[in-house]
Amino acid sequence: MKDGNDRKESYAERMKAKLDIGALRALCAIADRGGVSRAAASLALSQSAVSHKIKRLEESLGCAVLDRRAGHPLLTREGEKLLRFARRILALHDDAVSTLSTEPLSGHIRLGVTEDATSGGLSSVLARFTRLQPAVRVQIGVAQSRIIGDRLASGELDVGVLQVFAEERRADDVTLASDALHWVKSPDLAMETGRPIPLLTFDQDCFYRDWALHAEPPPPSGFQIVIECASIAGILSAVKAGLGVTLLNARHLQPDMEIVTDGFPTPPDIAYVLRAGRSAHTSSVKALVRTLTSDADWHRPLSPR
């Protein structure tokens, strides 16, 4: 058992620990990219350099932040705690650097977002970015995830916030949140045996729709599309009215909805990702990406039922 002097020395040693900005940025990149190698690529560093930063950080703090055992979560409990602090520290650090920089950024950034991203705190984050970088003009377009992905690939967008199936994430995608998909309906909707299932879908650019219509095994009686609507508000209204069954991610589930599983194919998980386009190397785009990824609250999923 440690005596008083030992405890004082241990506390004093902890107080000497320093949080290196580069190490904190590496930790965030590992959490966002899902591993050390992907984090290294996103930071333009070698894998060994990133590992060394994390090792030095762990030695300084006296605890492990990465769980290196196969099959375990990427971060330890201490690592998860540090990650929350790291995002806040980096946000303040980057804000300070941007504010005090003698060479303010300028330019025009084209940002694509999905409809549900606009219902969170995105507007507040973009307003803060605009105040810090008044010479950078951010033009926002709201579209389906597939359209955002295509426009990023063609160079029509600089940055996108979109949904993808979790297994289809790219190495350079920053994962903002993960979520589950569910088949849902109103409790008042009776499913008639032997008749096609009334299906509520988003428009033809929605990857939910494509998966639902081609998933295996399909329901024995198949689907019949009764409503096609690009708006999440329209789909939610139709579900509540009992007009049909639809696919919704967990963040949109409400108490008056019923999850159904019997006779339906199991949906895959999805992820909300931030993806940079061809102009990812420009200073203004890098600054916006840092702002969007360092704020831990705006992309947090809404509370499910």
pLDDT of residue 173: 87
Say which CATH number the domain at 172 has: 3.40.190.10
Does residue 15 or residue 205 have the better pLDDT? 205
pLDDT of residue 101: 63
Do both 138 and 240 map to the same domain? Answer: no
State the pLDDT confidence band at 80, using cuts at 50, 70 and 90: very high
Do both 187 and 232 map to the same domain? Answer: yes
Closest listed residue to residue 235, CA positions, set 202, 204, 205: 202
Strand, helix or coil for residue 229: coil
CA distance 270 to 169: 9
pLDDT of residue 237: 95
Question: Is 99 part of a structural domain of the chain?
Answer: no
Closest listed residue to residue 238, CA positions, set 230, 227, 247, 249: 227
Residue 283: φ, ψ to 5°: -65, -40
Looking at the structure of the chain, the number of domains it has is 3
Q: What is the mean pLDDT of residues 77-82?
A: 93
What's the mean pLDDT when you consider all of the chain?
Answer: 85
**% of the chain beyond a pLDDT of 70:** 88
Lowest mean pLDDT among 42-56, 237-251, 291-305: 291-305
The residue with tokens 């507040």 is: 124
Do both 190 and 164 map to the same domain? Answer: no
And the tokens for 7? Answer: 């405890």
pLDDT of residue 11: 46
130-177 pLDDT tens trace = 888 889 999 999 999 999 999 999 899 999 999 999 999 887 888 888
And the tokens for 211? Answer: 């998966």
Q: State the alpha helices, DSSP H only, in the chain.
A: 4-16, 21-33, 36-43, 47-61, 77-100, 122-132, 145-154, 207-214, 232-240, 283-294
Do both 276 and 168 map to the same domain? Answer: yes
Q: What is the mean pLDDT of residues 10-24?
A: 69
Q: What is the mean pLDDT of residues 112-126?
A: 82
The residue with tokens 């329901």 is: 219
Strand, helix or coil for residue 185: strand
State the pLDDT confidence band at 14, using cuts at 50, 70 and 90: low
Of 90, 119, 154, which one is at a domain's C-terminal end? 90
Residue 26, domain extent: 4-90
Question: Is 100 part of a structural domain of the chain?
Answer: no
Question: Is 96 part of a structural domain of the chain?
Answer: no
pLDDT of residue 298: 57
197-225 pLDDT tens trace = 999 999 889 999 999 999 988 888 899 99
Q: What is the mean pLDDT of residues 36-50?
A: 85
pLDDT of residue 172: 80
The C-alpha angle 134, 139, 142, rounded to 5 degrees, equals: 145
Question: Is 95 part of a structural domain of the chain?
Answer: no
Question: Is 46 part of a structural domain of the chain?
Answer: yes
And the tokens for 95? Answer: 């804000």
Under a CB-based contact definition with an 8 Å cutoff, are residues 86 and 132 in contact? no
pLDDT of residue 42: 75
Say which CATH number the domain at 34 has: 1.10.10.10
Question: Is 304 part of a structural domain of the chain?
Answer: no
CA distance 187 to 165: 28
Under a CB-based contact definition with an 8 Å cutoff, are residues 15 and 276 in contact? no
Q: Would the pLDDT of 4 be above 70?
A: no
Do both 18 and 81 map to the same domain? Answer: yes
254-278 pLDDT tens trace = 999 999 998 899 999 999 999 988 7
Do both 53 and 171 map to the same domain? Answer: no
CA distance 236 to 218: 23
Do both 21 and 85 map to the same domain? Answer: yes
pLDDT of residue 218: 85
pLDDT of residue 1: 47
Under a CB-based contact definition with an 8 Å cutoff, are residues 133 and 105 in contact? yes
Q: How far is CA 41 from CA 22, 38, 52, 68, 172, in A?
A: 15, 5, 15, 19, 8
Q: Would the pLDDT of 116 be above 50?
A: yes
Q: Which residues of 166-205 are buried (b: 16+ CB within 10 A; e: fewer)?
A: beebeeebbbbeebbbbbbbbeebeeeeeeebbbbbbeee
